[in-house]
Homo-oligomer: A and B are copies of this chain.
Amino acid sequence: MEITFLLIVEIIGTLAFAISGIRLAALKKFDWFGAFIVGLVTAIGGGTIRDLFLSTTPFWMLSYWYLIVTAMALGLVILFKRYLVRLDHTFFIFDTIGLALFVVIGMQKSLDFGFPMWVAIIMGTITGAFGGVLRDILINEEPLIFRKEVYATACLAGGLSYWLISHLGGSIVVQQISCAAIIIIVRVLSVIYNWSLPTLGNDNKDYTNQ
């Protein structure tokens, strides 16, 4: 039963990530194929980088439902484009839940492969946040997470709570739930209170020398 619940959450997260990519592709006037690829890369890109780093076969090559969910996301955007615009808050919730789950999955997989906790935290953050980086590279924009919102920081905070609970002797389920909860809380609070990280530099000197 828990597996079924996790699967539903993973589908919702994949759908939310894919829709976020497809909506940005729509702004760039990509065709359906391009929008599908951008949606797919947003949804599975982070986990693909993680799996390449873990020297294992990318997860989406073992089950075709990631493709099907992305195709469903494309269909939804094509059919309900106007209405989807008004659902920003709904998508934000799905996207945040998906993010939390992706980080937990990425951390768990890295630990299962025998890597230490600090590698697992990085892999969790990559799983959650780097699909969006690949998306921004594909649509030729500066990666959003490098300039806006406490997105990757939420992943890191969740990862650190996973570590902390593990040190305190909590069970794996408690570690995972606390990790996911911290990510959701930090991300929601950061949007409500408009938190952001300090930025670097505001002078116009040309530092380029490499």
Contact = CB atoms under 8 A, between A and B. Distances in A.
Interface of A: 20, 22-35, 37-38, 48, 52-58, 61, 64, 67, 77-78, 81, 85, 88, 91-92, 95, 115, 118-119, 122, 132-133, 137-148, 151-153, 196-202, 205-210
Which of A29, A34, A88, A147 has the most B CB atoms < 10 Å from its CB?
A34
18 contacts: A22-B200, A24-B208, A28-B142, A28-B146, A29-B201, A31-B197, A31-B198, A32-B197, A33-B153, A35-B200, A37-B152, A38-B146, A53-B57, A61-B115, A61-B122, A81-B201, A95-B209, A137-B137
- Chain A interface mostly: helix
Identical chains bound together, number: 3
B64 A118 contact: yes
